[in-house]
Structure 1
Amino acid sequence: VVIDFTASWCGPCRIMAPIFADLAKKFPAAVFLKVDVDELKSIAEQFSVEAMPTFLFMKEGDVKDRVVGAIKEELTNKVGLHAAQ
């Protein structure tokens, strides 16, 4: 599961949105979710999200990895890495 913690006012989040959508199409076996931190503050706090965008990689309820910031290459590489596991 890949979770994108985002906010409507976040410029870098808007830049990453189409990249996140493309990755979801390329890796259909993975689940891709978006969490608006303004609507679901408690979820963002639960996962210690302090900056947007933050992408969490989860498996069986545990956080396995994270990418903080609008770093296309790092996000793409980590999605590929975790999708292969």
Structure 2
Amino acid sequence: MAASEGAAAEGSVIAIHSLDEWSIQIDEANSTDPKKLVVIDFTATWCGPCHVMAPIFADLAKKFPNVVFLKVDVDEMKTIAEQFSVEAMPTFLFVKGGDVKDRVVGAVKEELVKKLELQMAQ
């Protein structure tokens, strides 16, 4: 995704390249609906399992257009990764109203899908 693509259309993954972009996306999700689910993929360019999960994450974004899907490169956005104590890649966080509700660490498609569906039901 190009850096010039700011707010992406529903059903797509939004890459975060600045703290401003991060704030805009989180604030927008929380202001439209405090129970809106935001799923964050903490990734790295050098991470093989991250590359395996990227198309799966993109497919989930298409299947769940009412969920906000964000992608954060831990090397580019260290402060965000540190804020959420991300230590392994990929790490997926499920956030509602600014609170982390769940996480998946590692390239485990089944667990990612299961927890996404669980969070959608709550």
TM-score interval for Structure 1 and Structure 2 normalised by the shorter chain:
over 0.9
Deviation digits for residues 28-52 of structure 1 (CA, Å, limit 9, x no counterpart): 1110000000000011011000000
Deviation digits for residues 39-79 of structure 1 (CA, Å, limit 9, x no counterpart): 00011011000000000000000000000000010001111
Equivalent pairs, count: 85
Q: Provide TM-score, normalisation by structure 1.
A: 0.98
Instruction: Report percent identity of matched pairs.
Output: 81
2:95 to 47, 55, 58: 58
Alpha-carbon distance, 1:12 to partner: 0.1
Alpha-carbon distance, 1:83 to partner: 1.6
CA RMSD of aligned residues (A): 0.6
> Which residue of structure 1 aligns with residue 118 of structure 2?
81
List runs of 5+ in structure 2 lacking aligned partners: 1-37
Q: Aligned AA for 1:28?
A: P
**Separation of aligned partners in 2, 1:44 and 1:16:** 18
The structure showing larger relative contact order (alpha-carbon pairs under 8 Å, at least 6 residues apart) is 1
Q: Aligned AA for 1:37?
A: V
Matched, 1:25 2:62: yes
Structure 1 stretches of at least 4 aligned residues deviating more than 4 Å after TM superposition: none
> Which residue of structure 1 aligns with residue 25 of structure 2?
none
**Separation of aligned partners in 1, 2:115 and 2:77:** 25
Matched, 1:7 2:44: yes
Matched, 1:39 2:76: yes
Alpha-carbon distance, 1:3 to partner: 0.1
Q: Provide TM-score, normalisation by structure 2.
A: 0.69
**Separation of aligned partners in 1, 2:89 and 2:67:** 22
Q: Aligned AA for 1:40?
A: M
